[in-house]
Structure 1
Amino acid sequence: MKKFVPFLFFLSFLSVLFIGVGQAAADAPKLYLNGKPLESDVEPAVVNQTTLVPIRVIAEGLGFDVIWQKESKKVIVHNGETRIEFTLDDRTALVNGEAKTLLAPATAIKNRTMIPLRFVGENMGLDVYWDQKTKTVQLFQQVKPADPPPAEPPKTETPEIPAKGKLKSIEYNGLGSVILRYEGDVKANKPFVLNAPDRIVLDLPDTAFASDFLPEPPVKGTGGSLTVDGHPTLTKVRYSLYSDKPSTIRVVLDLTAPTNYTFTEGQGELRIDVLDAAGPAPSQPPATEPPATDPSKPPAKKYKVVIDAGHGGHDPGAKSVLGYNEKELNLKIALKLYELLKKEPAIEPYLTRKDDTFVALDDRAKFANDLKADIFISIHGNSFTPSATGTETYYNRSDSKQLAEILHQHVLKATGFKDRGVKTAGYVVIKKTTMPAVLVETGFLSNKDDAAALQKEETQNRIAQELVAGIKNI
């Protein structure tokens, strides 16, 4: 009865606070879940004396998944234990298959499904309070009462079973890879995709947050997020304690469109490579072949080649196991390539950066586009687990495939590393450039052998020389 009294007071207060339908948004209370604000582009509203709240923001804050079925106008909220189905303009909801009546029908406001607050509180395990001082609605997850003690308690308490693994960090490498580092024994479930909105979901059962990652033990449904900049579809990485029995962490990659990805498991690390928007690459005309030239005459045109040394300035890139930064290696190879291309009478080379300065990804692509360059080459070093090794090359559009295949074979010849293939990806510098463009991952700085070889000037010279040879073969 004690929990119901604050709720009744809250409802009576709302009837005084709001007057009629269509009350100004400025009067709408702010929502808080477990003491933290819930951000939403649609505020709570009062319709016919019933307070409606956006179901998605509350459900996702609790760790529920929300699915929108456009054709049937149905919203499904579930977390493995509870499944609730709402239908727009319908006052009946299904809770684990049981029909329940809403005080008001599910309503769409600004493309957000709004549900009566009272129903949300009663069916999603929430206590609802009105905070008079701050004018906020405070939602708290109910704490399940403990089981009564046995008639004859055991002499020794059974300790709680700890999680088998701990998540230490979540990082985004700036090139489409989300890396999860852990300690202990972590057996991740297979990632799966959800739509409306599009997202990739990864669950880590028997896993808790390491204390240096989240110092305070999170409440079920709470966690944090990592904002992603510069990727064509990946916008944010969210993580939360999805379940506490057993401790399960859920990681969600928010996307703006359906996107291809790969998932790799390594020792102490998990990696999701978010590639490109799903579907075939747009049709593009093949790369133009340089016209045949008469050796006795000067070339009719100089072919502009833009060399992009990845990272730079406050963005060091990957850290090599030998202590040097990726940005240093990338620049060394780029400068060597630049000097060699300057000696070619038919080629005019350009650098996106000549020293240790930071250049935004969009600015690198714009630089090449404004030059009306013929070729764009971005040079990088890779990083994953100590055992990962090899060279790989990425392209985005079909007009870049031939360039990627030719340069890849030449870089392989220079490094002698494992052939990891030619792949497609949506990296900004090869997606937003308008000419044939590739991104070359020379080797893995996380691998002792790769890092040692790439540190040698003779290897860097060979890579630069083979890139020249590849360019001249295009």
Structure 2
Amino acid sequence: MANRHAAPHRKRKSKRKERPLLGTALVLCFCTLAFVFAGFLWQEALRTSTQVPERQTGSDDDFRPQVGDPPYRVAIDAGHGGSDPGARGVVEEKDVTAATASALLQWLEQDSNYIPLQTRESFDVTATPAERAAAARAQAPQLLLSVHANSAANGSTAAGFECYPSVPGRTWHAESFYFARLLASGMQAAGASLRGRGGVRYIYYLENDQKQLVESTHTEVRAERSFTLLEDVDCPAVLAEQCFVTSAEDVERFGSEEGCRKVARIYYEAVCAYFGTQPLPE
């Protein structure tokens, strides 16, 4: 009788010993998985924090374009012209762009560090943006500046400077953005108000051929095209809107004959800063 009762008692005691061991194993397994998962999260966080956003690549103060040795080939495009007056207001846009481009080309012609290029033979010649872009590309420029002036609806008090570099995702975006900042900085120093975030913005053409303006903080790569003069030249390129022809005050400061000469000097100094040369004295 004693032996029959002893065996079942030993089995129950053995089962009670197995349960703590099983619980310990589960805890250890859970801790191991938690440790591995935490390590994965840490690595992902470290990888993400060390990635450089595209805007920082183009706008970081340490960025400098690789320019090689002079002389540098710089293309100057005067917007509109010929039978295309562009925007109309106190003055016509084509007169502002021609006067500014002419004065800028004179500075570049005097400076042995530069070979000035034009997108057409004369400012009186009518040429589409595509034709001017093709003419510029054929001359293999190392930098292009397209000069324009802005306008606003009747009654608007809009004024100020803004410029448009090649958009994110394009080959020369970083260099274009760098040059755009130099242009905006020079205009601001001369007393111009900067539109948007620091005077640098992007333009995209939507499917209905409507233009969409976005600030330079929008660094996502988009499929839509920007200005033809930015897209169809194989070099850093910026389109500058130096003043509003619909603002008498803006025109007086930056769109009159004297104002255009002032802006041309600002543009020339920005070109020199881009390539790292010393500007000629005024």
**How many percent of aligned residue pairs carry the same amino acid?**
28
Aligned residues of 2:118 and 2:136 also touching (Cα < 8 A): no
The alpha carbon displacement at 1:439 in A equals 0.5
**Structure 1 counterpart of 2:67:** 290
The alpha carbon displacement at 1:287 in A equals 7.0
Aligned residues of 1:382 and 1:442 also touching (Cα < 8 A): yes
Q: Secondary structure at the match of 1:473?
A: helix
Structure of higher CA gyration radius: 2
**Structure 2 counterpart of 1:359:** 127
Pairing partner for 1:383 from 141, 151, 154:
151
Larger helix percent: 2
Aligned residues, how many? 182
The separation in 2 between residues aligned to 1:289 and 1:333, in whole angstroms, is: 27
The separation in 2 between residues aligned to 1:287 and 1:364, in whole angstroms, is: 28
The separation in 2 between residues aligned to 1:418 and 1:288, in whole angstroms, is: 27
Residues 253-308 of structure 1 deviation map (CA, whole Å, 9 limit, x = unaligned): xxxxxxxxxxxxxxxxxxxxxxxxxxx89x99x874334xxxxxxxx541100000
**Structure 1 counterpart of 2:82:** 313
The alpha carbon displacement at 1:417 in A equals 2.3
**Structure 2 counterpart of 1:393:** 163
The separation in 2 between residues aligned to 1:369 and 1:455, in whole angstroms, is: 28
> Which residues in structure 2 correspond to 1:297-446 (within 5 Å)?
301-320=70-89, 322=90, 324-353=91-120, 354-385=122-153, 386-397=156-167, 398-399=173-174, 400-414=176-190, 416-420=191-195, 421-425=199-203, 426-446=226-246
The alpha carbon displacement at 1:427 in A equals 0.9
Q: Secondary structure at the match of 1:349?
A: strand
TM-score (norm 1): 0.36
Q: Secondary structure at the match of 1:403?
A: helix
Aligned residues of 2:101 and 2:264 also touching (Cα < 8 A): yes
Q: Which amino acid aligns with 2:248?
A: K
> Which residues in structure 2 correspond to 1:190-205 (within 5 Å)?
none
Q: Which amino acid aligns with 1:409?
A: S
Aligned residues of 1:382 and 1:444 also touching (Cα < 8 A): yes
The alpha carbon displacement at 1:469 in A equals 0.9
TM-score (norm 2): 0.60
CA change 1:455–1:422 in 2 (3 A) is: closer
The separation in 2 between residues aligned to 1:459 and 1:431, in whole angstroms, is: 29
**Structure 2 counterpart of 1:273:** none
Unaligned regions of 5+ residues in structure 1, if any?
1-279, 292-299
CA change 1:438–1:369 in 2 (3 A) is: same
> Which residues in structure 2 correspond to 1:11-160 (within 5 Å)?
none
Aligned residues of 2:72 and 2:115 also touching (Cα < 8 A): yes
The list of structure 1 runs, each at least 4 consecutive aligned residues, that deviate by more than 4 angstroms after superposition, is none
**Structure 1 counterpart of 2:17:** none
The alpha carbon displacement at 1:424 in A equals 1.5
The separation in 2 between residues aligned to 1:318 and 1:332, in whole angstroms, is: 15
Aligned residues of 1:369 and 1:433 also touching (Cα < 8 A): yes
Q: Which amino acid aligns with 1:451?
A: V
The separation in 2 between residues aligned to 1:309 and 1:411, in whole angstroms, is: 18
CA change 1:344–1:462 in 2 (3 A) is: same
Aligned residues of 2:254 and 2:262 also touching (Cα < 8 A): no
Residues 141-198 of structure 1 deviation map (CA, whole Å, 9 limit, x = unaligned): xxxxxxxxxxxxxxxxxxxxxxxxxxxxxxxxxxxxxxxxxxxxxxxxxxxxxxxxxx
The separation in 2 between residues aligned to 1:312 and 1:331, in whole angstroms, is: 8
**Structure 2 counterpart of 1:95:** none
Q: Secondary structure at the match of 1:435?
A: coil
The separation in 2 between residues aligned to 1:373 and 1:454, in whole angstroms, is: 27
Q: Which amino acid aligns with 2:259?
A: T
Residues 203-241 of structure 1 deviation map (CA, whole Å, 9 limit, x = unaligned): xxxxxxxxxxxxxxxxxxxxxxxxxxxxxxxxxxxxxxx
Q: Which amino acid aligns with 1:380?
A: H
Q: Which amino acid aligns with 1:403?
A: F
Q: Secondary structure at the match of 1:307?
A: strand
The separation in 1 between residues aligned to 2:162 and 2:70, in whole angstroms, is: 31
Residues 305-327 of structure 1 deviation map (CA, whole Å, 9 limit, x = unaligned): 0000000112110002x2x3110
